[in-house]
């Protein structure tokens, strides 16, 4: 049995893989356990690594460093690919307000971090670790550690203390946001208290029926009518004399025509003014049988899998006029988009198409609609993206007050390239699509390996650090860094911006990148508003968290 014991004790490649796998497996299993309905999820891998290191398990430093950094790179790049398609669209209309409030949460956290640093003896590296744990953001911790190694290569203790500080405050970071949500619920309740201005900021896709009752548009073509407004919408169906049809750009609208229009909620009132009357029919119910509404037409979801269509503008395909079909909406990475002519199609887009069966079938052939093609992710895009991200991360960026040029590092470079590849890659006919399950697998694998390595690397002195006065101070500061920014911005969002409770708590969870708190927030409301707000602010918040952690270290360490 000596050979088996040596597999666990001799510092070889095999031992490193065995220990990392064992720590990851145990941590993931423990992460499924819920305490009062709350679980730390994959973060338990971090604490399992700390326990292993505390009991004397060690791995070769070089191999541990490689595994840790490679896991971080894979995670942040896959994260960039995930948020890239919706990153820039999240700034439109209501997204701007929520992203500003999300940035307010981040800014307050940074200000408090700097104040604690200047008025106490806590080093800035420890404070960034406390902040990373308080906002449950281990990628920011990894970025900060890379930055510290860049400006102070010999400060290995500072890198270790940063991880310890993060570990101390992380559990309270999860609980603190949930406590803040409870406080906001008590103060403002869950009722819808949105003002007209807030409702105008609602960017969810919305289906409504209108009757043409505006003499100014009688006998005008849809193309002419579209020039009368700056609102974007799609006319899905036209009912005339009891018959339904799919309109084209040249279709003339008559008095008393009934139109089924897909838009965003904020534009409904403007569309009503344009057409005349809105019918009191709820077309947004989940149980509507669209195919039963008009027996001659069918509604199908078609997948874009054809390489030639990747990056092409929807309007340039002229599908509506050539085939007599209507594309009512496009779902990309879980987000519904309006089918505007200027929208660039991407591999993996799901188009909802309405038309006659043969026409829909023919359009499906043009767009691809072959699910099997999406089963194999384009690994070329992943490896080229990682390569470009690492190169970008090593580019020296001069900064006026710093002698040493700033570098984005292993975390900043790949996440920027990942976002850009996800957002603009298709425009250059570069397929960046990966299935949601494949992307999740890539992200989870990367972050688990990173957390396991981080715990093993920093856990030897964890308990002696926590169970002393300094550890208690860290706990108190971490709790303040978590709950104070969330409460201040949450109250301002409700009082000043009149943001309703559901969107408010979703925005706060997104700004803290805290999915555990989001799960709790979803249990307090009936709809999915918290998830929508979370998705709106999460991309920018994650990006800013990672880069700001680096900048604080580079400027002040």
CATH code of the domain covering residue 331: 3.30.70.1450
Q: Are residues 77 and 146 in the same domain?
A: yes
Q: How many CA atoms lie within 13 A of 181 on its CB side?
A: 29
pLDDT at residue 481 is higher than 90: yes
Same domain, 201 and 190: no
Which range of 20-24, 89-93, 165-169, 498-502 scores highest in mean pLDDT? It is: 20-24
Taking the C-alpha atoms of residue 380 and residue 323, their distance in angstroms, rounded to an integer, is 35
Answer whether 139's CB lies under 8 Å from 550's CB.
no
* Domain membership flag for residue 353: yes
In what side-by-side order are the strands of the sheet with 298-303?
Answer: 298-303, 350-355, 326-332, 335-338
Report yes or no on 14 lying in a domain: no
* Structural domain boundaries enclosing 519: 62-194+380-556
Distance (Å, whole) CA 439 – CA 78? 6
Q: Which helix (H) or strand (E) holds 263?
A: strand 258-264
Tokens of 196: 């007209």
Residues of the chain with pLDDT > 70: what percent? 84
Whether the pLDDT of residue 326 is over 60: the answer is yes
> Could you give the CA distance from residue 203 to residue 532 in angstroms, rounded to a whole number?
10
Q: Look at the chain and report how many structural domains it folds into.
A: 2
Supply the mean pLDDT for the chain.
Answer: 79
Rounded Cα gap, residues 334 and 348, in angstroms = 11
357-403: pLDDT as tens digits:
788 888 888 888 887 777 776 788 888 889 998 898 888 877 676 66
Kindly state whether residue 21 falls inside one of the protein's structural domains.
no
Whether residues 133 and 220 fall in one domain: no
Q: Are residues 127 and 208 in the same domain?
A: no
Report pLDDT for 528: 60
Contact 521, 181 (CB under 8 A): yes
Tell me if 262 is assigned to some domain. Answer: yes
Task: Return the structure tokens found at 253.
Answer: 């609208």
- Do strands 258-264 and 234-240 pair parallel, antiparallel, or not at all (unpaired)? antiparallel
CB 45 within 8 A of CB 459: no
Q: Are residue 551 and residue 415 in the same domain, yes or no?
A: yes
Residues 497 and 401 in one domain: yes
Per-residue model confidence as pLDDT tens digits over 443-470 = 888 888 888 887 887 777 777 766 777 7
Does residue 384 share a domain with residue 356?
no
- Say whether both 221 and 102 belong to one domain: no
Contact predicate 371/305, CB 8 Å: yes
DSSP state of 155: -
**What is the rounded end-to-end Cα distance, in angstroms, of the chain?**
49
- The pLDDT-based confidence of 38 (bands split at 50, 70, 90) is low
The answer to whether the predicted template modeling score (pTM) of the entire model surpasses 0.75 is no
Is residue 134 within 8 Å of 172, Cβ to Cβ? yes
Whether residue 52 lies inside any domain: the answer is no
Tell me if 23 is assigned to some domain.
Answer: no
Which of 350, 373, 396 finishes a domain?
Answer: 373
Do 528 and 427 belong to one domain?
Answer: yes
In this structure, what token pair is assigned to residue 347?
Answer: 């591999």
Same domain, residue pair 403 and 480: yes
Q: What is the model's pLDDT at position 292?
A: 56
Same structural domain for residues 328 and 397?
no
3-class state of residue 272 by DSSP = helix
The answer to whether 485 and 492 are in contact (CB under 8 A) is no
What is the gyration radius of the CA atoms in the chain, in angstroms? 26
The answer as to whether 401 is a domain residue is yes
Poorest-pLDDT segment among 261-265, 276-280, 528-532, 540-544? 528-532
Strand partners, 329: 338, 352
Confirm whether 96 is domain-assigned.
yes
pLDDT, one tens digit per residue, over 109-132 is 999 999 999 988 889 999 999 998
Last residue in a domain, options 373, 401, 435 = 373
From 356, 373, 390, the end of a domain falls on 373
Alpha-helical (H) ranges within 195-241 are 196-199, 222-226
Neighbour-count burial for 518-532, b at 16+ CB within 10 Å, e otherwise: bbbbbeebeeebbbb
pLDDT in tens, 182-224: 888 888 765 544 443 344 345 566 788 888 888 888 888 888 8
Looking at the DSSP assignment, which residues form a beta bridge with residue 301? 352
Same domain, 92 and 170: yes
């Amino acid at each position: 049995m000596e050979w088996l014991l040596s597999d666990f004790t001799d510092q070889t490649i095999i031992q490193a893989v065995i220990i990392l796998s064992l720590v990851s497996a145990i941590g993931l299993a423990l992460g499924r356990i819920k305490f009062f309905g709350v679980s730390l999820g994959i973060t338990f891998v971090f604490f399992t690594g700390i326990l292993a290191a505390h009991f004397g398990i060690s791995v070769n430093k070089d191999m541990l460093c490689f595994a840790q950094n490679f896991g971080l790179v894979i995670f942040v790049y896959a994260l960039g690919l995930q948020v890239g398609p919706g990153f820039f669209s999240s700034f439109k209309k209501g997204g701007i307000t929520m992203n500003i409030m999300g940035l307010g949460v981040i800014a307050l956290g940074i200000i408090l971090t700097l104040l604690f640093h200047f008025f106490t003896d806590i080093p800035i590296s420890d404070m960034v670790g406390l902040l990373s744990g308080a906002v449950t953001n281990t990628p920011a911790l990894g970025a900060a550690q890379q930055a510290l190694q860049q400006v102070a290569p010999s400060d290995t203790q500072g890198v270790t203390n940063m991880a310890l500080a993060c570990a101390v405050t992380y559990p309270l970071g999860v609980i603190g946001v949930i406590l803040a949500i409870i406080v906001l619920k008590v103060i403002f309740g869950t009722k819808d208290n949105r003002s007209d201005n807030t409702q105008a900021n609602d960017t969810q896709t919305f289906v409504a029926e209108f009757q043409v009752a505006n003499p100014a548009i009688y006998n005008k073509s849809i193309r002419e009518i579209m020039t009368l407004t700056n609102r974007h919408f799609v006319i899905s169906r036209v009912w005339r004399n009891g018959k339904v049809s799919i309109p084209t750009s040249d279709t003339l609208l008559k008095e008393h025509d009934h139109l089924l229009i897909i838009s965003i909620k904020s534009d409904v009132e403007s569309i009503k003014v344009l057409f005349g009357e809105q019918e009191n029919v709820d077309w947004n119910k989940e149980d509507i049988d669209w195919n039963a509404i008009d027996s001659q037409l069918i509604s199908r979801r078609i997948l874009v899998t054809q390489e030639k269509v990747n990056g092409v503008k929807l309007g340039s395909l002229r599908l509506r006029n050539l085939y007599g079909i209507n594309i009512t909406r496009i779902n990309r990475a879980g987000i519904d988009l309006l089918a505007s002519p200027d929208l660039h199609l991407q591999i993996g887009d799901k188009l909802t198409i309405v038309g006659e069966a043969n026409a829909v079938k023919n359009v499906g052939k043009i767009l691809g609609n072959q699910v099997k093609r999406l089963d194999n992710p384009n690994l070329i895009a992943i490896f080229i993206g990682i390569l470009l991200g690492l190169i970008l991360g090593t580019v020296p960026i001069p900064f006026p007050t710093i002698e040493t040029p700033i570098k984005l590092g292993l975390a900043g470079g790949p996440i920027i390239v990942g976002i850009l590849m996800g957002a603009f890659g298709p425009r250059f006919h570069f397929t960046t699509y990966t299935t949601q399950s494949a992307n999740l697998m890539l992200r989870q694998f990367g972050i688990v390996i990173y957390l396991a390595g981080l715990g093993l690397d920093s856990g030897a002195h964890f308990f002696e650090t926590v169970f002393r006065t300094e550890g208690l101070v860290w706990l108190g500061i971490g709790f303040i860094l978590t709950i104070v920014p969330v409460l201040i911005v949450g109250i301002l969002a409700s009082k000043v911006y009149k943001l309703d409770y559901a969107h408010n708590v979703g925005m706060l969870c997104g700004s803290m990148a805290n999915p555990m708190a989001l799960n709790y927030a979803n249990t307090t409301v009936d709809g999915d508003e918290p998830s929508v707000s979370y998705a709106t602010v999460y991309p920018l918040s994650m990006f800013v968290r990672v880069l700001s952690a680096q900048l604080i270290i580079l400027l002040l360490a």
